[in-house]
Structure 1
Amino acid sequence: MITILSPAKTLKMDKVVNASLYTKPIFIREASSLIKGLLKYSPEELVGLMKINSKLAEQNFMRHITWEKEHDLFNSKQALLAYDGAVFKGINADDLNQQQLSFANKHLIIFSGLYGVLRPLDLIQPHRLEMGTKLKNKQGNNLYDFWGNKLTIYIKKQLKIQDDNTLIDLASKEYSSVIDMDKINARVIKPVFKDYKNGTHKVITIYTKRARGLMSRFIIKNNISLPSDLKEFNEEGYSYNEYLSSDAEFIFTR
């Protein structure tokens, strides 16, 4: 069973923890190629390309200049420990032990606009490149063209290696749509988290992001390998709603 996640826009690169436990990004050559493409853009041009303000554009312009192909513990940090959005606050990786981090590295995959796919312990350098960015490249006009076939093949291969055909989709649509779900020959299950509001259960984005992190943490801490075991998830008031669920969607409500 493999679980996929989206990355976060924010990073915490201040300190390295679990320094002895890390891996290197698989598609580092491709990431380097994208950085070379980004170096052609001035801060002013990055504002339009990345749909960000001038302060963030200047920050990312400097990141592109200082980015190095060789990743080590002096210039990088493990992805699961570096990302700092709501999903990753829910995972709270800082207190996971080595066994749990090793399990995560085998069963959790973070999609990335820059790195393609990241295992939790893969080293990353400061960056911000969303999958929806329309960055022209040798494969096409956007990052879906650049990554789509590569990541579909990679996910299919990983499922085969694990002798499993179940993919747990905890990623946003922006990221999960980069792969062709029909070609990976897998059972895809999407956990959906809904809160009761104004007389009905609704998806509320800010709560959903945290819940995806909590679900990921639940999988990691309990070494979950069977999809049916996901139904036991009950963090922060959520519980499996059999009435609303289907084979493709596991609905959790509170």
Structure 2
Amino acid sequence: MYRHIKRDELTETERVYLKNHVFITSALYGVVPALSPMAPHRLDFLMKLKVAGKTLRSHWRPFYDEALQGEELIFSLLSSEFETVFSREIREKMVTFKFMENKAEQLKIHSTISKKARGAFLTALIEGQVQTVEQTRKLSFAGFEYRSDLSSDLELVFVKQA
């Protein structure tokens, strides 16, 4: 998702938004600003690697929580694997997003579609300078539209017609 942000094509306003509002979570680097340089890696929290006798999840949790402690509202595009690194207190502040495809009146979730949708959604957030849940509900991107009938206060659902 973050590899596909066209950093060189961002306006100054978009660059400032990205710098101030978008963070990347990594099992190697922790929580870092989106514009921070990072080497490509495939480390995740499912690996049985220990740091000072702790699992990666246990090692990183206090650092992950500290990075977002002062935030009142957090838009989370994290996988469940990364989301669970945060404490319950932090997760309760998260608004999550689900991306579905309507194919022959059947709503489906596909990992490939979801991954591409998260990237397109992030681009829409950046371009729209979105900061509230209400602004998020008004977004339309890559064929996806907000569906209030499928959403809750903390999980917003966007559907694309196949």
Give the TM-score, by structure 2 length. 0.89
Contact 1:166 1:187 in 2 (8 A): yes
- Which runs of 5 or more structure 1 residues have no equivalent in the other structure? 1-86, 160-164
CA distance 1:101–1:250, change in 2 (3 Å) = same
Within 5 Å, give how 1:77-88 maps onto structure 2.
87-88=1-2
Structure 2 counterpart SS, 1:171 = coil
Q: Which of 28, 40, 45 pairs up with 1:131?
A: 45
Equivalent residue, structure 2, for 1:244: 150
Name the structure, 1 or 2, with higher relative contact order (CA <8 Å, separation 6+): 1
| Amino acid in structure 2 at the alignment position of 1:93 | R
The structure that is strand-richer by fraction is 2
Contact 2:146 2:157 in 1 (8 A): yes
- Which runs of 5 or more structure 2 residues have no equivalent in the other structure? none
- Structure 1 residues 106-137: Cα deviation after superposition (integer angstroms, max 9, x where no partner): 10111001100110111223433223222111
CA distance 1:129–1:185, change in 2 (3 Å) = closer
1:171 maps onto 2:53 in alignment: no
User: How far 1:211 moved relative to its partner?
Assistant: 0.7
Structure 2 counterpart SS, 1:179 = coil
Q: CA RMSD in A?
A: 1.9
| Amino acid in structure 1 at the alignment position of 2:28 | L
Contact 1:90 1:210 in 2 (8 A): no
Contact 1:89 1:210 in 2 (8 A): no
Equivalent residue, structure 2, for 1:224: 130
Q: Which has the larger radius of gyration?
A: 1
CA distance 1:197–1:96, change in 2 (3 Å) = same
Count of residues in correspondence between the two structures: 160
Give the TM-score, by structure 1 length. 0.58
Within 5 Å, give how 1:40-189 maps onto structure 2.
87-88=1-2, 91-140=5-54, 142-157=55-70, 159=71, 165-180=72-87, 182-184=88-90, 187-189=93-95
